Structure 1
Amino acid sequence: MYPNWILQRAYLTPLRNGLTYNGQTWTFQELNDLSLKRARQLTTLGIKQGDRIAIMGPSKPALVIMMYACMHLQCEMVMLNRRLSQAEIAYQLEDSEAVTVVIADEDVEKLPSQTTHHLFSTIEESSETTIDVAKEWPLQQTTSIMYTSGTTGFPKGVRQTVGNHQASATSSVLNLGLQADDAWLCAVPLFHISGFSILVRSLLYGNKVNLYNHFDVEAISENIVNGDVTHMSVVAVTLERILHTLEQNNAQASPKFKMMLAGGGPVPVDYLKRAHALNLAVAQTYGMTETSSQTATLANEDAMQKIGSAGKPLFFNQIRIAEPNANGEGEICIRGPHVTPGYIGRFAQKEALIDGWLHTGDIGYIDGDGYLFVLDRRADLIISGGENIYPAEIENVLLTHPAVQEAGVCGIEDDEWGQVPIAFVVLKEQVQVEQIQAFCQQKLAKYKMPKEIIITDKLPRNGANKLLRRKLMD
């Protein structure tokens, strides 16, 4: 058993600032008091200790407080991605069997019709019911559930436990170090593992979070220049925007700014050189939803010597290459206390581990110095602005259109987003491309929409009739 993070942090450093948003600041004591009040209000509305509930809202303090309230109640939080279509959200709600959705008022229209839900405003106006909040949490308790797209085209609900999150945060702090006045800028969505893990670190480390609802590059760059923050998580596309803004303003990062963690795919060498010139320390990372954030990180001092590497595993983590070829290349496998114990819903019976190791599906190698190099992300995965897109998911939608006989999707390079999906379809009856695009808009999140739909006579397949996505662009 380990302490309730929120109670323990409020006890240890009650007057230390825990959250800043849009000029307003909350201490850890205030966050605890507010979240306990919300927990009592949620109880009035029928939510019980240990319930599995879905939660959705923009990255604002109201969402943070609601998440902490659910954590006080030891609820399993299904983190709903605000960018998904109603059809995608409906799948996750059905698969997770969440008893209700706790949702920000401004997001309620994103829900499928007839969905049982409680608005933030309704909760905040409810009466309070006395509750007995657990002072300790078991390590195996599921805290969060995040859906990650699968190679089958059906997203999997990944469980992350108290133990997973604690191990991830502990490994990270052993790598980065810790000071009481550290402050983490959070401009990544809280429903992503990258965002939620920042909240976990805040509670465990006692550091302030500077929260942003949108990626405001001017304000964020100002924070970095002024030394208002010490750490930040980015993907390549957001890093480039910061670099461009600093360069345009002839500005450099403050000496107080310590580290920018870059995930969601490799960082171009040019970005690293530009960051170095701006006194901006960048550490490339490798991780996934199943590993509760980062598994390996490349130290800033190694960035130029080990260009293209994701670094070495963090302290408690292990990485090995399964069935390597003559060049040492094979599937990346991960072991450690940060790895998920498994999935929920239709994938509940799928074993997450094989002999204790998570088989990622990513291809890579470890060089003679022990540095990991990721060659291919889950075979056909498209990484667009840090978002993972599986071709099979888009293909499944295209194949439900009555005029589409076959569909194949791959990623193409894009200057802004790194990659974007492009679709190839074989028709069984005449239809306008615009009609297929309109059909997809009803079923897919905007970032999953194919940038282009190309009509073709046939798709490349092997002898077993398996689609060869790598040859689509040929």
Structure 2
Amino acid sequence: MPSFDKLGKQALRQTRMLKVMATSGVIRPYGPRKLLGIATTLQKRGIGFAGGMGALAVRSGDEIGLVDELGELTWREVDERATRLARGLHGVGVSEGDSVAVLCRNHRYFVDVSTALSKLGADILYLNTAFSAPQLGEVCAREKPVAIVFDDEFTELVDKSEVDLTRVVAWHDGEPDGSSTLVEDLIEGAGTDEVAVPGHTTRPVILTSGTTGTPKGAPRDEAGIDGAVALLSRMPLRTGGRTYIAAPLFHTWGWAHLNLAMLLGSTLVLRRKFDPAEALQTLREQECDAMVVIPVMMQRILKLPESERSGDWSFLKVVAASGSALPGDLATEWMDAFGENLYNTYGSTEVAWATIAQPQDMRDAPGTAGKPPYNTVVKIYDEDGNPVEQGDSGRIFVGNTMLFGGYTGDTDEKKDMVDGLMSSGDVGRFDDQGRLFVEGRDDEMIVSGGENVFPQEVEDCLSRHEAVSDVAAIGVDDDDYGTRLRAFVVTSGDVDEETLKGHVKENLARYKVPREIVFLDELPRNATGKILKKDLKDYDAEGNPGAGSGQDSGQDSGEDSGQDSDEARGDDEQAS
């Protein structure tokens, strides 16, 4: 029997959840008939995509639910398309309990497929649009999907991966060649009678970014109300708004806001590829009150001429950022340009979101990752698993109801646990106001001449120089000191190596000054804008690729977010 103390905590948690949901408008009065329809749909279909989209079709069927380059869809149309597609996918061999791989950008077909598979009770394997052919082949061999749905631009990639799966093409430009099964054809060729309610609950699998090897699969609950309430507890998102999700839907951050928009009934605004000027135009034209981004997108927007950025942005209430650390003064620069609308979330694929920094947090304490949201515990432990003193640095551990249950596939790899809390893979500290500061990866610290150095601190320092537009630092082998720091910078003005070293020396301890500073045209990034430090170890001190001999002791573990360099620029791909 639960103790009175436990029951009291549960009651307090439930009360806070109801308050958050009422404030955001999720809980509101409906007529008896509509309320019965919503309840019946959720009871039959659950609170995942099938139930969520079905409930939206009941409560707001004629309202615009999705806007992409192809036009608008109402919530009823979204739900009906998914029903038709579920029947169509079943007709090509997808059954309850099967897994289907999805290799799509941000558009209606991503939502169509996700909802259709939820109606079928099939699992969803979300693939990274920046995958190489070997990565795609390895992941599919491990996860064993029976079919793959992909945009036609990835046809060559799928061919090279040699995956032997049923193929269905989602987005296609121009006239199809006639040999492909198209999502749109499956939708048009099927009826709208609901499919039977499956016994198997759909399991979405989101992949880690794989910056140090083959991406691992991290299964999530199909929908987690606690996860939505956690975000809503520190972000002023409200029902009936318009959310432009620029971050990729295949990864945790974009996928989370797809689920959140479904709960709130917010219109989804999607664009296949990211371009900073077009992003601002989309925000204005669609009058979006929320935008979901990764830091590299913010950096690219801020590089636009002021004439393109100026104007009244008061309609934009929330810019939700995550995926990698906000470098240097990016947070304050953004808010100076666009207002107090920035909310930065720290977390990982495995632990979901651990802390959220609100605008005032970042004004008062630049560089902070914020405070834990609803139903989340964050603690700092030393290497022996003991709590550290207030203000001391240590390993970050997170506890919430969103922790993943283990990687998919045949692996025994696990995240470290202490007192029921899971390691985020980072090192950090709390200040006296309870705000978290993340100092770097726990496997990124280098010891140079007996002194501990975290590359992130040096990166932040260099990024604050007016001539530096992008920066990364890694550890490389050194005969005299064991390890030394090497920095890589992309500049936007005239500056030399000695000037930048002097800048670091003026702001940090002497032993934190990089031995070399290498100038590059761009830094390698993955599909969520995360810098691929494992690739930087191949550069020598002169910036020549493939000539490096240094060992990267500061590479990213790749487990906390998921585009190649073109994608990060947004020239050809969607940066996120």
- TM-score greater than 0.5 by the shorter chain: yes
Q: Within the alignment, does 1:265 sit opposite 2:265 as a pair?
A: no
1:252 aligned partner = 311
Amino acid aligned to 2:84: K
Amino acid aligned to 1:7: G
Look up the SS of the partner of 2:360 in the other structure. helix
1:450 to 525, 530, 535: 535
The Cα of 1:363 is off from its aligned counterpart by 0.5
In the superposition, the TM-score normalised over structure 1's length comes to: 0.77
1:8 aligned partner = 55
Residues of 1 paired with 2:423 and 2:410: CA distance? 19
Between the two proteins, what is the percent identity of the paired residues? Answer: 23
**2:209–2:215 Cα contact (<8 Å) kept:** yes
The Cα of 1:352 is off from its aligned counterpart by 7.3
1:116 aligned partner = 165
2:125 to 69, 78, 81: 78
Q: Within the alignment, does 1:276 sit opposite 2:335 as a pair?
A: yes
1:162 aligned partner = 222
Residues of 1 paired with 2:298 and 2:127: CA distance? 25
1:305 aligned partner = 364
Amino acid aligned to 2:535: P
**2:295–2:323 Cα contact (<8 Å) kept:** yes
- Equivalenced residue count is 413
The C-alpha deviation readout for 1:36-60, integer Å capped at 9, x for no partner, is: 1000000111111121221112222
In the superposition, the TM-score normalised over structure 2's length comes to: 0.64
The Cα of 1:142 is off from its aligned counterpart by 5.1
Pair 146,410 (structure 1): closer, same or farther in 2 beyond 3 Å? farther
Q: Within the alignment, does 1:370 sit opposite 2:434 as a pair?
A: yes
The Cα of 1:216 is off from its aligned counterpart by 2.1
Pair 94,128 (structure 1): closer, same or farther in 2 beyond 3 Å? same
Bigger CA radius of gyration: 2
**1:156–1:347 Cα contact (<8 Å) kept:** no
The Cα of 1:88 is off from its aligned counterpart by 0.7
2:94 aligned partner = 47
The C-alpha deviation readout for 1:120-154, integer Å capped at 9, x for no partner, is: 3514434548763439x99xx45311221569734
Pair 77,370 (structure 1): closer, same or farther in 2 beyond 3 Å? same
Look up the SS of the partner of 2:371 in the other structure. strand
Give the structure with the higher percent strand.
Answer: 1
**2:137–2:163 Cα contact (<8 Å) kept:** no
The Cα of 1:349 is off from its aligned counterpart by 6.8
Residues of 2 paired with 1:46 and 1:336: CA distance? 37
1:190 to 249, 261, 271: 249
Residues of 2 paired with 1:414 and 1:169: CA distance? 37
Look up the SS of the partner of 1:48 in the other structure. coil
Pair 375,76 (structure 1): closer, same or farther in 2 beyond 3 Å? same
Pair 239,42 (structure 1): closer, same or farther in 2 beyond 3 Å? same
The Cα of 1:34 is off from its aligned counterpart by 0.4
Look up the SS of the partner of 2:432 in the other structure. coil
The Cα of 1:378 is off from its aligned counterpart by 4.6
Amino acid aligned to 1:36: T
2:230 aligned partner = 171
1:359 aligned partner = 423
Look up the SS of the partner of 1:62 in the other structure. helix
Paired residues for 1:309-388 under 5 Å: 309-323=368-382, 328-347=392-411, 350=414, 353-380=417-444
Residues of 2 paired with 1:204 and 1:352: CA distance? 32
The C-alpha deviation readout for 1:244-278, integer Å capped at 9, x for no partner, is: 33623361352111011222233244333332332
Residues of 2 paired with 1:14 and 1:224: CA distance? 24
Pair 356,20 (structure 1): closer, same or farther in 2 beyond 3 Å? same
Pair 227,125 (structure 1): closer, same or farther in 2 beyond 3 Å? closer
**1:224–1:254 Cα contact (<8 Å) kept:** no
Pair 245,134 (structure 1): closer, same or farther in 2 beyond 3 Å? farther
Pair 173,409 (structure 1): closer, same or farther in 2 beyond 3 Å? farther
Residues of 1 paired with 2:491 and 2:107: CA distance? 26
Amino acid aligned to 1:148: T
2:503 aligned partner = none
Q: Which runs of no fewer than 5 residues in structure 2 stay unpaired?
A: 1-42, 170-179, 446-454, 460-471, 475-482, 493-523, 541-545, 556-576
**1:221–1:246 Cα contact (<8 Å) kept:** no
Q: Within the alignment, does 1:56 sit opposite 2:103 as a pair?
A: yes
Residues of 1 paired with 2:140 and 2:105: CA distance? 18
1:201 to 260, 264, 281: 260
Look up the SS of the partner of 2:268 in the other structure. strand
Amino acid aligned to 1:450: D
The Cα of 1:197 is off from its aligned counterpart by 1.5
Pair 372,131 (structure 1): closer, same or farther in 2 beyond 3 Å? same
Residues of 1 paired with 2:58 and 2:491: CA distance? 45
The C-alpha deviation readout for 1:330-350, integer Å capped at 9, x for no partner, is: 111111112212221023674
Pair 150,277 (structure 1): closer, same or farther in 2 beyond 3 Å? closer
Q: Which runs of no fewer than 5 residues in structure 1 stay unpaired?
A: 392-407, 418-439, 461-466
Residues of 2 paired with 1:447 and 1:319: CA distance? 26
Residues of 2 paired with 1:227 and 1:456: CA distance? 48
Look up the SS of the partner of 1:344 in the other structure. coil
Residues of 2 paired with 1:277 and 1:114: CA distance? 49
Residues of 2 paired with 1:358 and 1:187: CA distance? 29
2:115 to 62, 65, 68: 68
Residues of 1 paired with 2:245 and 2:165: CA distance? 30
Look up the SS of the partner of 1:241 in the other structure. helix
Look up the SS of the partner of 1:312 in the other structure. coil
Amino acid aligned to 2:350: E
**2:332–2:362 Cα contact (<8 Å) kept:** no
The C-alpha deviation readout for 1:339-397, integer Å capped at 9, x for no partner, is: 2122210236746755422112211111121111110035339999xxxx9x9xxxxxx
Pair 339,446 (structure 1): closer, same or farther in 2 beyond 3 Å? closer
